[in-house]
A = this chain, B = another copy of it.
């Protein structure tokens, strides 16, 4: 039987290019190594053990996750050092204890003294030993305590002194690096991220409490920080794939994007200069993060089936539940793109788009014509 190609699989489907994935992973590994920090890949974007294995190659072995379902899944695949990088809730602790009973060290984060107390108490009740990190706000204003707050010391002390918990360090996330439009701006945010985490760790140590881990991370800051002195690890995630938004904030180039959606032209409107593809709001997500960027691609950049730019730039201007509307641009006619033509769409925000699919169709643009589907890799969605 001939090999399955991207021209055979149902549309819409999610395509992952192994060659680009590996290069993206290598670039971040080099960046972390050059700054003398461990790389803890954040698997919130990939949600795949196969991607995790590539991202962990040559690294210390720790990962970060964004859901307990991911934690359960990666623990079941033998990953033993997992940071659950979303503030823990007391009613999740039983599930955490179960994951630990599988043998995984699952580190929890919190910015709440009350939750830390609950962790210490439930640890005792459940016979568990919970690992607690304090989350810091380094300027994003999303979650986290401030490095100079009394709450920080209180969280550290409670966890440190508890019989069934341990204080494992501090972590912060400069999500506001996504607002930066130049590398110089990212460097500034990265330095605040670094100094916030280091300052917090020093204060904790000054109180006689060990603070082993000093964890920071976003793809832009992990790549572009000038110094990570005092930091022990970075936790970027989206770098593995990249997307149209990341390509505009200096995280990668459009040529580096490893994930796209394969789709087909499904209708030419009788009289209007636009065509429909069978990838809409569900296949692409409603993310519009390129809306105010220099290269606004609507709901995604349209390329040919192989992922090569078309001679004229086309984009998904509007989405319906199952349809994407692509305006024809000057110099392109319906005859060039008949119904059934396969196209690819590079999404704005790959975390959102990938979440609509249960698996990746793996291709490798370095092998042959790059169209063969060489594997199918599952994803773990949901909570």
Binding site for B on A (CB under 8 A): 10-13, 44, 66-68, 86-87, 89-92, 95, 111-112, 114-115, 137, 141-146, 149, 151, 175, 264, 266-272, 276, 278, 281-283, 285-288, 320-323, 325, 338-340, 351-352, 355-358, 381-383
Count copies of this chain in the complex.
2
Q: Hey, which chain B residues are within 8 Å of A90, CB to CB?
A: 339-340
Interface pair A351/B321, CB less than 8 Å apart: yes
User: Closest CB of chain B to A83's CB: distance in Å?
Assistant: 14
A87 CB to closest chain B CB (Å) equals 5
Q: A86-B278, A268-B112 are in contact. Are A358 and B382 (CB under 8 A)?
A: yes
A89 touches B264 (CB 8 A): yes
**A12, A66, A89 — most chain B CB neighbours (10 Å):** A89
Which residue of chain B has its CB nearest to the CB of A66? B322
Q: Is the CB of A340 within 8 A of B66?
A: no
Q: Given contacts A66-B321, A264-B89, is CB(A357)–CB(B382) below 8 Å?
A: yes
Knowing that A90-B339, A141-B269, A151-B270 are A-B contacts, what are 9 other residue pairs whose CB atoms are under 8 Å apart, sorted by A's residue number? A11-B383, A12-B383, A86-B278, A86-B322, A87-B266, A112-B267, A175-B320, A357-B382, A358-B382
Give Cα distance in the complex from A271 to B141, angstroms. Answer: 9
Residues of B with C-beta under 8 A to A355: 282, 356
Is there an interface contact between A266 and B10, defined as CB atoms closer than 8 Å?
Answer: no
Q: How far is the CB of A361 from chain B (nearest CB, A)?
A: 12
A281 engages B352 (CB within 8 Å): yes
6 CB contacts below 8 A, A to B, read A10-B383, A87-B266, A91-B340, A141-B272, A149-B270, A282-B351
The distance from the CB of A341 to the nearest CB of chain B, in whole angstroms, is 10
CA distance A276 to B115 in the complex (A): 14
A116 to chain B minimum Cβ distance, whole angstroms, is: 11
Least Cβ–Cβ distance between A362 and chain B, in angstroms:
18
Hey, which chain B residues are within 8 Å of A142, CB to CB? 269, 276, 320, 323, 325
Once A175-B320, A323-B142, A323-B143 are accepted as A-B contacts, the answer to whether A86 and B266 lie under 8 Å apart by CB is yes
- Known A321-B44, A322-B67; contact A146-B270, beta-carbon cutoff 8 A: yes
A91 touches B12 (CB 8 A): no
Nearest Cβ in chain B — how far from A279, in angstroms?
10
Which residue of chain B has the shortest Cβ distance to A318 in the bound complex? Answer: B142
Bound complex: CA A146 to CA B269 (Å): 10
Contact B269 A112 (CB under 8 A): no
Q: Which residue of B lies closest to A146 (CB)?
A: B270
A137: B residues at CB distance < 8 A? 269-270
A8–B358 alpha-carbon span in the complex (Å):
27
Taking CB atoms, residues of chain B closer than 8 Å to A267 are 87, 111-112, 143
